[in-house]
Structure 1
Amino acid sequence: MLNEIENLTKQLHQMEMSYWFHHDIFTFQWWFIVVVNVLFFLALLFLIDKGRTLRIILAFMFSFVILGTIDQIGQYFELWSYAHEFIAFTENYNAVDFLAVPSIFALTYQMFTSWRIFLVASLFVCLFNAFIAEPIFVALDIYHLDHWSYFGSFIILYFVVILVKALTDFVGRNNTTDDYRSTTQQVFQRKQKAR
């Protein structure tokens, strides 16, 4: 049985790579995935608060890992699927928005620090992603909702963004996650006040 599974997995991987090379890479949909992800990631790099760089990167990484894991689970249980992928041989880059959504979540974390405002802003971010962005990906035949709904995506995204803030705030309380620059600024300000 195990040998049969290994052989079928090997055949599946060969078929996926063949499809990706001959029918996916450099298509309009593939370029759309590239452009969307690069633009949002560049926006994050351009807009990142230099005084809180480590915290924002932490929020980005938490988002990337959690969303990637959820995406793999959803694909495994055939809740959704992707007709086009950025890179076929790694699961983390299958999602059409593998960098875009973590970048958006990191920027949301950066811009809205208090929980009350963050929850409201995240609500709008998740509504936009689930009910506007995802239908665009479906219309472009990049993303398929096999046994899933936009509302389900909204619930998952909202849960994830709240979890990301909670984890980032918890880990960020440790002084070792403070940026060197912000610590230096605090010392400089104390010296200015002492004068």
Structure 2
Amino acid sequence: MNYPSDEQIAEMMRQLTQAQIDNFLGQHIGTWRWWVLFILLIAHWFIWYKLVDKKRIVELVLFGVIIMVFTITLDEIGFVLSLWRYPVGVIPILPRLTSIDYTMLPIIFMLVYQYFPAWKNFFWALVVLSTVFSFVAEPIVVHLGFYVLIKWLYWYSFPIYIVMGLLARWIVRILIDIERKSCKM
């Protein structure tokens, strides 16, 4: 069997990237969808800064960064496996929905983490959040043309949001416990 070489794959990736940039510049930048994504990318950080508990900012940002890593990784996997695609983005070389992965999801998860400190309350807040994201927000984003489902159903997202939040909280709590124990020594 004849496999493409590393150099051929690199050239195909270069051509694909150039095609994405050309498509972005020719069809997407400056459209109403692009402006919505651009505003979402920035506006949520101002809202977050007003609402965040600044006494816990390091803990909250750590939690948010973990959520961001999860969302970017899962989004990249889903995109590469052609489970979904994004017709428009804020930045042409990033195939994911940057405004959601880098801003909306981490910020909303951080606020849930901040306002629901007990595990039980946090879990139930995640269930509500996952319901809203999966069955309200995602269909709206699809309807508005920001997100196209290929081999994905909304209910697949529901447990992922819950597990992502629980796992991020568990990691943060472990790190905080390690820090506290080391400070007592």
Query: What's the TM-score, normalizing by structure 1?
Result: 0.85
CA distance in 2, matches of 1:164, 1:76: 24
Which amino acid in structure 2 is aligned with residue 108 of structure 1?
V
Correspondence 1:33-112 to 2 at 5 A? 33-91=37-95, 94-98=97-101, 99-112=103-116
CA distance in 2, matches of 1:90, 1:133: 22
Question: Deviations for 1:92-149, whole angstroms, at most 9, x for unmatched residues?
Answer: x534512101100011101101000000011111111111111111011110111001
Secondary structure of the corresponding residue to residue 170 of structure 1: helix
Does 2:179 match 1:164? no
CA distance in 1, matches of 2:9, 2:77: 19
Which amino acid in structure 1 is aligned with residue 154 of structure 2?
Y
Does 2:19 match 1:15? yes
CA distance in 1, matches of 2:98, 2:68: 11
The structure with the largest alpha-carbon Rg is: 1
Secondary structure of the corresponding residue to residue 105 of structure 1: helix
**Would you say the 8 A contact 1:85–1:95 is kept in 2?**
yes
Which amino acid in structure 2 is aligned with residue 68 of structure 1?
I
Which amino acid in structure 2 is aligned with residue 156 of structure 1?
I
User: Considering only aligned residues, what root-mean-square deviation do their CA atoms show, in Å?
Assistant: 1.9
Distance 1:147 1:96, change over 3 A: farther
The equivalent residue for 1:6 is 10
> By how many angstroms is 1:167 displaced?
1.1
Aligned length: 177
The equivalent residue for 1:185 is none
Correspondence 1:108-147 to 2 at 5 A? 108-147=112-151
CA distance in 1, matches of 2:176, 2:30: 40
